[in-house]
Structure 1
Amino acid sequence: MAGNFEIYKDKAGEFRFRLKAGNGQIILVSEGYKTMASCKNGVDSVKSNASVDARYERKAGNTGKFSFNLKATNGQVIATSESYASEAARDSGVDSVKATAPDASVSDLTA
């Protein structure tokens, strides 16, 4: 099963997207967007930036958890990963986004 972007509305009424791997696990989530068009632009930005390793900001938290942000060419964060228990798991998450995002389908769950 291939990866999939899901566009949905959060409790505040903003549009968000999440990228799910082929196994259904969420590997990336976005910030809130005021419009559907902006949210779709965010998805397109993930698709175009996902394969560029330099766009990933790998982070280690003070609690021993690891995460990453995917950034656009202007340095703005496009989406954030879930927390991982190890550096290796975080790096596998990065690899999963690189492999999944460029060809992932998009589902609109707002309808």
Structure 2
Amino acid sequence: MEERYIIRQEASNLFQFNLETEEEEILLNGNDYKTLALCKKAIAQLKTHAFDDELFVRNNDDIEGPSFKIISTTGKILATSKTYSSFTLMEQEIEILKPVIATSQTIIYKQ
């Protein structure tokens, strides 16, 4: 499986990225960015800090289910995960995702 960052320009002219599988399953959702350069910078930060576990902020919500956010070293949210069926499954997925986050290529699609 070859995962990749997909950058899209939304109708609002903001840029957003997703980390996706070849089958277009979304692994991480990025925030909206005003410029392509800022969007690329967020991806670069994710890649640089992919193994910094303290930047993975876990949320064990009893109602919605476990999820996590990845923050920058300054505390800004860079990406959010899907909701998982269990905290254990989420933790396993984080460990699987770390090398994927660090090594995936970036593809830009403008709409």
TM-score by length of 1: 0.88
TM-score by length of 2: 0.88
Which sits farther off after the overlay, 90-99 or 50-59? 90-99
Partner of 1:46: 46
Distance in 2, matches of 1:61 and 1:72, equals 22
Partner of 2:31: 31
Evaluate the alpha carbon distance shift between residue 62 and residue 9 of structure 1 in structure 2; reply closer, same or farther with a 3 A threshold.
farther
Partner of 1:72: 72
Shift of 1:12: 2.5
Evaluate the alpha carbon distance shift between residue 22 and residue 49 of structure 1 in structure 2; reply closer, same or farther with a 3 A threshold.
farther
Distance in 1, matches of 2:82 and 2:64, equals 14
Unaligned runs of 5+ in 1: none
Is the counterpart of residue 96 in structure 1 residue 96 in structure 2? yes
Deviations for 1:34-80, whole angstroms, at most 9, x for unmatched residues? 10000000110110111111111010124141100111111211111
Partner of 1:8: 8
Is the 2:64–2:83 contact (alpha carbons within 8 Å) kept by the matching residues of 1?
no
Partner of 1:106: 106
Which sits farther off after the overlay, 28-37 or 55-64? 55-64
SS at match of 2:110: coil
Higher strand fraction (1 or 2): 2
